[in-house]
Amino acid sequence: MSGSGFFLSFEGADGSGKSTQAKRLAADLRAEGYDVVLTREPGGSTGAEEIRRLLVEGEPNRWSPKTEILLFTAARRDHIERTILPALAQGKIVISDRFADSTRVYQGAARAELRALVDTLHRLVIGRVPDLTLVIDIDAKTGLKRGLARNSGEDRFEELGAGFQQKLRDGYRRLLTDFPDRCIGIDGNGDEAAVAQRVRAALKGHLP
């Protein structure tokens, strides 16, 4: 905990249900009287949303892995400066649909040795981790099906295929063992309400 506010992130592979659950939780907490800022990555601030378009649209291989990490980190710096830290300073609950763990897992899945670069950049220019991270897990095929069914036009990562999705799932599982104090795994199978119930159970005792 950061003294004031509470910083929660949702993580998990494509189509695992992060956006659905983040939105639902924000609405539920607001109804209970909490002041909630719902935000997302890449994006979450004006500048970072502009960088998002460079990252999620276009050719799957348009950026080299290192360039991609720098773009994600630039977007995250703007996001944390303009959106997250000010909200936390005002005592709000910040729910971010993805955060730094996504970069760690995706870029680590593409090229394992890049994870060190992600960690170093995070330490140098971001320096803030969520108070709690909920990692939603479903099998790779279900996730891919759910993700592509949306037809969002932001399918650059989905289009990298099922093998990549399996690597992502493994990477997300590893997060749970790498950061056991901050990360909780959520079973993403079943309908939205069932998953939402697991989310609330995981939050018990954590919210201010």
Residues of this chain that bind ligand ATP (CB under 6 A): 12, 14-20, 146-147, 149-150, 191-192, 195
* Closest distance to Mg ion from the beta carbon of 208 (Å): 26
Which residue number places its CB atom closest to Mg ion? 19
Rounded Cα gap, residues 45 and 81, in angstroms: 9
What residue 145 binds from ligand ATP, Mg ion, none (CB within 5 to 8 A, per partner kind)? none
What residue 147 binds from ligand ATP, Mg ion, none (CB within 5 to 8 A, per partner kind)? ligand ATP
Please name which of 11, 13, 9 lies closest in space to residue 139, comparing C-alpha atoms. 13
* Closest distance to ligand ATP from the beta carbon of 123 (Å): 25
* Closest distance to ligand ATP from the beta carbon of 66 (Å): 23
What residue 191 binds from Mg ion, ligand ATP, none (CB within 5 to 8 A, per partner kind)? ligand ATP
What residue 149 binds from ligand ATP, Mg ion, none (CB within 5 to 8 A, per partner kind)? ligand ATP
* 97 contacts 39 by C-beta, under 8 angstroms: yes
* 107 contacts 76 by C-beta, under 8 angstroms: no
Q: How far is CA 130 from the centre of its chain?
A: 10
- 7 dihedral zone (left: phi>0; alpha: psi -120 to 50; beta): beta
